[in-house]
Amino acid sequence: MRFLLINPFCPISEGPTPPLGIAFLAAVLEKAGINVRVLDLAITPYSEERLASILYEFKPEIVGITAVTMTFLDAIRVIKDIKKVDPSLLTVMGGPHVSFCATETLNQYPELDLIVIGEGEVTIVELAEEAQQSRDWSKVKGLAFRQEAEVCISPARELLDVNTLPFPARHLLPIGRYRALNTAISMTTSRGCPCRCIFCVGRKMVGSKVRYRNPQDVVDELAYLSTLGFPQINLADDLFTAKRSHCITICDEIIRRKLNIRWTSFARVDTVSLEVLQKMKAAGCTTISFGVESANAEILKLVKKGITIPKVIKAIEMCKEVGIDPHVSFILGLPGETPETLEETQAFGDVLDKMGGAYGFHLLAPFPGTAICDENDKYDLTILTKDWPQYHANRAIVETTAVKKEMLNKIAEQWDSEVVVNLERIKQEMLTGEATEFDAWQIYNLERFTFLYDLMMAGLIEKNGSWLNGQEPVDKVSALQTLAERIYQDAGKSLDETLDFLKDLVLRNGLNYAQEEGTIKWEWNEYLS
């Protein structure tokens, strides 16, 4: 049995990181003795021709793809292209979007055969086993399928024991590309969220009861990730600080092993204390992200956030005291939003800024499966579109009675404009020698990131990284100069900038160089050995 897993395209604004969910699915399939390959379209170029080539070469019996709401149509496009190549291939999709739109998705897209609902690790293995037998999909829990032209949904899958999961199969991911981008790498220490926020789909996907991994296994994985060359590790739990003892035990074990790591996490302002934060800092935590959503007490109550602004202020103060950088996120356009509450939230952002806390705004995206989507009329909320690629939370797709989309978009555009103005200011200060070392590093890192991402997505190394050179040996420095000359115009940079970024890439072990039989060859250093 051969199983191809696909990670779909996602915009650069989402900050691509190695896909953790795909890596878990690949790991359980490998453990079950199934031959697995991963096609990661988040950082590699896509074409029907490339897809067809992979399908002909690997010859999978099943192709599975994941999707969130924003990437759903990109995933569907891939599914359609798969069926063009081989209509007999079994196509499967999972993820939060289709988990809550299973019936309408199967009715609308005949190219998609099966949908995995909720947690997929156990379901996908049983699905693969059943595909080799009678294909009686009713035997597999957590599955949506067609039966005599009718969409059927099997009984719900029980939530799994997270301690039965193998470590994610990161060796199947193009880790080297992500490392070259200098992004974070993610892992989890638990699954589940006890909170009841009406705008969040997490609780419905992974349950309200938090399931904790063995702390020794957690730190084993942290130790392994620390060897891969990423600048930091993101603990992607819905709520890392949900259980004080779990958090403290992990931190103590990191400290005991003397691991020199940098990591971030998500928390709520009502689940941190000075003691917990001190321990997290000592264990290497650099940043904590808090979802605050609004500065208005009534809105917080309406969306069932369960926090207060005094608790927010206290949490930020404690973070600053122990030396952890706090980051606060707000959601604009929530139920009950008015021009006055928008001003209140924006003003509170300024307060946080003066306290030394970073903050950012998103506009409400009512994802399928959330109460705010399924019961929007109950919340004085108008959903303006179901054009799923617009669900990126950067432009308005909802309105309240008092706040129209134009007002929300104006705030978002102003925020974007301020970011651009600040970047241009730093660039000018760099020219005059007035920029701080940190600001200059930020600009360089941003430009390097976009350059490398464009390099990857345009396939410029693949197209220009090989050339005939005869039998005369060519040193790496000269070969890199030639590579820069071959790509700089297509990369949209000067020759000097291109060469500088390529030198940095080589220093980070992002490219491999070889000269064989008269051919110079540069290739991405993609996979773990």
Q: For 98-137, how does the pLDDT look when each residue is reduced to its tens digit (9 = 90+)?
A: 999 999 999 999 999 999 999 999 999 999 999 999 999 9
**Span 452-489, pLDDT tens digits:** 999 999 999 999 999 998 778 899 999 999 999 999 99
Question: Of 103, 130, 153, which residue is a domain's last?
Answer: 153
Sequence-ordered list of residues with C-beta below 8 angstroms from that of 128, at least 6 positions apart, any chain = 1, 3, 29, 32, 34, 62
* Residue 208: pLDDT over 90: no
Q: Are residues 9 and 67 in the same domain?
A: yes
Residue 145 pLDDT more than 80?
yes
Q: Which domain holds residue 227?
A: 184-363
Number of continuous H segments (helices) and E segments (strands) in the chain? 20, 20
Q: Tell me, what's the pLDDT at 83?
A: 97
Task: Give me the pLDDT at residue 439, please.
Answer: 87
Do 28 and 82 lie in one domain? The reply is yes
CATH number where 465 lies:
1.10.10
Same domain? For 203 and 117 the reply is: no
pLDDT in tens, 67-104: 999 999 999 999 999 999 999 999 999 999 999 999 99
Is 261's pLDDT higher than 90? yes
pLDDT score recorded for residue 491 = 93
Higher pLDDT, 529 or 172: 172
* 138: helix, strand or coil: helix
In a domain, 416, yes or no: no
Q: In the predicted model, is pLDDT for residue 529 greater than 80?
A: no
* pLDDT for the residue 13: 82
Report yes or no on 21 lying in a domain. Answer: yes
pTM for the predicted model, two decimal places? 0.95
Round the average pLDDT of the chain to a whole number and report it: 95
Q: Same domain, yes or no, for 254 and 305? A: yes
User: Tokens 């993820």 appear where?
Assistant: 95
pLDDT at residue number 11 = 86
- What is the per-residue pLDDT for 380? 87
Structural domain count, the chain? 3
Decide which of 153, 172, 202 is a domain's last residue. 153
Cβ within 8 Å of residue 193, ≥6 positions away:
200, 202, 203, 206, 207, 208, 210, 238, 239, 242
Residue 395 lies in a domain: no
β-sheet bridge partners, residue 151: 146
Please tell me what DSSP assigns to residue 385: -
Whether residue 529 is contained in a domain is answered as no
Domain boundary among 313, 339, 363: 363
* 40, pLDDT greater than 90: yes
Q: Which residues contact 299 (CB under 8 A, 6 or more apart)?
A: 293, 334, 335, 336, 337, 341
* Segments in 182-322 forming alpha helices (H): 202-206, 215-225, 244-257, 274-282, 297-302, 309-322
**Has residue 426 been placed in a domain?**
no
pLDDT over 80 (residue 353): yes
> Do 140 and 191 belong to one domain?
no
User: Which runs of consecutive H residues, i.e. helices, occur in 258-393?
Assistant: 274-282, 297-302, 309-322, 339-355, 371-374
pLDDT tens per residue, range 182-195: 999 999 999 999 99
CB-CB contact of 276 with 248 (8 Å): yes
pLDDT value at 507 more than 80 = yes
Residues 122 and 266 in one domain: no
Distance (Å) of CA 476 to CA 4, 14, 524: 36, 34, 15
Residues 117 and 54 occupy one common structural domain: yes
Q: Is the pLDDT of residue 157 over 90?
A: yes
470 found inside a domain: yes
Res. 276 pLDDT band, cuts 50 70 90:
very high
Whole-Å CA distances, 133 to 64, 113, 115: 18, 16, 19
* Contact partners, residue 219, CB within 8 Å, separation at least 6: 250, 253, 254, 257, 259
Same domain, 120 and 190: no
Contact 215, 276 (CB under 8 A): no
Range 197-207 average pLDDT? 89
Q: What are phi and psi of 387, to 5 degrees?
A: -80, 95
Residue 347 belongs to some domain of the structure: yes
Judge if 148 and 284 occupy the same domain: no
If asked whether residues 355 and 224 sit together in one domain, one would say: yes
- CATH number, domain containing residue 299: 3.20.20.70
Arithmetic mean of pLDDT, 264-290: 97
Question: Would you place residue 202 in the very low, low, confident or very high pLDDT band (cuts 50, 70, 90)?
Answer: confident
Query: Mean of the pLDDT values across residues 154-174?
Result: 96
Length of the chain in terms of residues written: 529
Q: What is the pLDDT of residue 161?
A: 96
Q: Measure the CA–CA gap between 475 and 452, rounded to whole angstroms.
A: 23
Helix H or strand E segment including 426: helix 405-432
Question: 15 falls in which pLDDT band (50, 70, 90)?
Answer: confident
Domain check: are 195 and 132 in the same one? Answer: no
Q: In this structure, what CATH number is given to the domain that contains residue 116?
A: 3.40.50.280
d(CA 174, CA 178): 7
Q: Quick check: is 71 in a domain?
A: yes
Note the pLDDT of residue 470: 79
pLDDT over 90 (residue 156): yes
**Together in a domain, 140 and 197:** no
More confident residue, 12 or 74: 74
pLDDT at 494 over 90: yes
In this prediction, residue 220 carries a pLDDT of 98
